[in-house]
Chain A
Amino acid sequence: MNMLEAERINIKDKLNAHLSLRDSANQFFDELNQTNDVGNITIDFKGVQSISRSFAQQFLYRMENSDKEYICINKPRKIEMMFKIVKNKGEKPVVVNSDESSVVNLSSALH
């Protein structure tokens, strides 16, 4: 490959159509960083069906902290939305409403 020619990688072929695990993003960038190409690397999202927040967060983190230049293409809308959510760093949802007074003590009910 020409050193200045952009390399194009389909992330679905490299990993999966469903991007789930944080370390899969690490593994993906570890492999890319081993290449000696100087030119841009194009990451093609064609065929990707779902993405977890953890994967998206790690993917963006690794992309921003890399010496190489990456271009993402063919991002499905749901991938775009997940990247946007991660970049926005919104509040974590409040799911817990109880306080400690509502703790049921099972340890006292057994003997």
Chain B
Amino acid sequence: MVVYFHNKNIKYIVSQVKAKKEKWVYRAVHIQNITIILKQAFYLISMSSGIMEQYQKYCAIRDFARKNNIIDLSGCSFLCPTCLLPLINFIKNNPDMEYVSAPYNVEKYISIVDKKEYSENATYVPPIYLPQKYSEAEEVIEILRKHHNNGIDYGGQDAFNYMIGELIDNIYQHSQFENASIMAQRYEKLGFVEITIYDDGLSIPFCFEKHDISIHNDCQAIEEAIKGRSTKSDERGYGLATTTNLYVNGCNAQFFIVSRNGAWHKSKIDETFYNTEGLYTFSGTLVSLRIPYPINKVNIYDYIA
């Protein structure tokens, strides 16, 4: 079929199509903007349930349990690895305490995560326990790599492997742990992944004390560790310093460390030390990272040199 248009008509049709197209383009941009705004809102909401708040939640549950012999999770609505990983260890270490379940969805989540099973499409990585034998640790790290798709969306495999290697290596070098584990949860709608590493070993401040290194308080001990002061030699101590630099400045991540009576929270725009003596003390060391997800490959050599 051949259709003939008058020149005028063609011009009119073309202008209409253009106008509609512009309208749709405008709508698409508008939707894109709303998506960005929503993502930012989600991120802000997630910040209100930030790493420190999650750690404080764990401490509150632990404190109540110690006083009342009841592990009460009935008020828990949102548990991130920073709260959940030490909590799972606390529950395991106190089997005689009465247990009050969390709300249905949270309890279901805990039971799934704690089964240590992992499926390809899961957004979580269940707690993976580090073996006492250093020589067996490589196998565990290999499992982590597999579960995290080699860190491709967490700044690339170089960054991810560097971070995992240095943080786990620190545990074996310094902590003398009985229990150490690592878990992660990816929050795709909120746009971040949280990775938490737990050990019940010596703690950073005690490690300095053990080596007769004079430190005023536990916050200073953490500060010195991040600055790269090593109990071994001056040539060492780069691991924590470079990993925090890589992830905070290279990947825009949040970094949280609590060890005995000190804690440190760092993001690109904010930094706080906490005196955690008392209710918020931690026997051992807990390290948590909140990494924007997904995040493009980072050139690690810009941050570790």
CB-based A-B contact count at 8 angstroms:
143
Q: Would you call B280 and A107 a contact (CB within 8 A)?
A: yes
Beta-carbon contact of B242 and A53 below 8 Å: yes
Tell me if B175 is interfacial: C-beta within 8 Å of chain A. no
Cβ-defined partner of A104 (8 Å) among B138, B166, B169, B274: B274
Return the CB mask of A76-111 against B: 1 if under 8 Å, else 0. 001001100100111011111110101111110011
A81 in complex: contacting residue of B157, B274, B278, B301, CB < 8 Å? B301
Assign chain B's interface to a size class.
35 or more
Closest chain B residue, CB of each to CB of A50: B161
Contact assessment for B301 and A85 in the assembled complex, using a CB-CB cutoff below 8 Å:
yes
Q: Is A54 close to B, CB under 8 A?
A: yes
Query: Which chain A residues lie closer than 8 Å to B3 at the CB level?
Result: none
Q: Which residue of A lies closest to B262 (CB)?
A: A103
* Residue A20 lies at the interface, judged by CB distance under 8 Å to chain B: yes
CB within 8 Å for A107 and B278 given contacts A21-B138, A93-B241: yes
**Contact yes or no, A23 B141, CB < 8 A:** no
Are A93 and B245 in contact (CB-based, < 8 A)?
A: yes
A52, B145: Cα distance in complex, Å:
14
Q: Determine the residue in chain B with the shortest Cβ distance to A78.
A: B158
Q: When A18-B161, A57-B235 are in contact, do A104 and B272 touch as well, CB less than 8 Å? A: yes
CB atoms of B305 and A50 under 8 A apart: no
Residue B219 interfacial (CB < 8 Å): yes
A110 → chain B, closest Cβ, in Å? Answer: 5
User: Counting CB contacts under 8 A, is B273 at the interface?
Assistant: yes
Asked if A16 lies at the interface with its beta carbon under 8 angstroms from chain B, I say yes
A103 in contact with B226 (CB, 8 Å): no
Once the chains are docked, how many angstroms separate the CA of A19 from the CA of B161? 9
* Pairwise interchain contact A110-B278, C-beta atoms closer than 8 A: yes
Contact B277 A95, beta carbon cutoff 8 Å: no
Please judge, given known A-B contacts A54-B169, A89-B235, A107-B279, whether A95 and B266 are in contact too, CB under 8 Å: yes
A1-41 contacts to B (CB < 8 Å): 15-16, 18-24, 27
Q: Does A49 lie at the interface of the complex (its beta carbon under 8 Å from any beta carbon of B)?
A: yes
Contact with B273, one of A27, A81, A104 (Cβ below 8 angstroms): A104
Chain A nearest CB from B69 CB (Å) reads 20
Interface of B is mostly: helix
Is there an interface contact between B223 and A96, defined as CB atoms closer than 8 Å?
yes
Q: Is the CB of B158 within 8 A of A50?
A: yes
Task: Tell whether B236 is near chain A: CB-to-CB under 8 Å.
Answer: yes
B177 close to A (CB within 8 Å): no
State in angstroms the CA–CA spacing of A85 and B158 once bound together. 15
How far does the Cβ of B55 sit from chain A's closest Cβ, in whole Å? Answer: 10
Q: For the complex, what is the distance from the CA of A100 to the CA of B56, rounded to whole Å?
A: 21
- A95–B138 touching, CB < 8 Å: no
B80 to chain A, nearest CB (A): 19
Q: How far is the CA of A94 from the CA of B240 in the complex (A)?
A: 11
Write the nearest CB–CB distance from A78 to chain B, whole angstroms. Answer: 7
Q: Do residues B276 and A18 form an inter-chain contact, with CB atoms below 8 A?
A: no
CA distance A78 to B161 in the complex (A): 13
Lowest 4 CB-CB distances: which A-B pairs, in order?
A20-B165, A52-B165, A92-B228, A93-B245
- Interchain residue pairs with CB less than 8 A apart (11): A16-B138, A21-B169, A49-B161, A53-B162, A93-B304, A96-B264, A96-B271, A98-B223, A103-B273, A104-B274, A106-B278
Given contacts A21-B165, A23-B169, 5 further A-B contacts (CB under 8 A): A16-B138, A20-B168, A23-B137, A82-B301, A100-B217
Which residues on B are within 8 Å of A, measured CB to CB? 56, 134-135, 137-138, 141-142, 145, 157-158, 161-162, 164-166, 168-169, 172-173, 216-217, 219-220, 223, 226-228, 235-239, 241-242, 244-245, 248-249, 261, 263-264, 266, 271-280, 301, 303-305
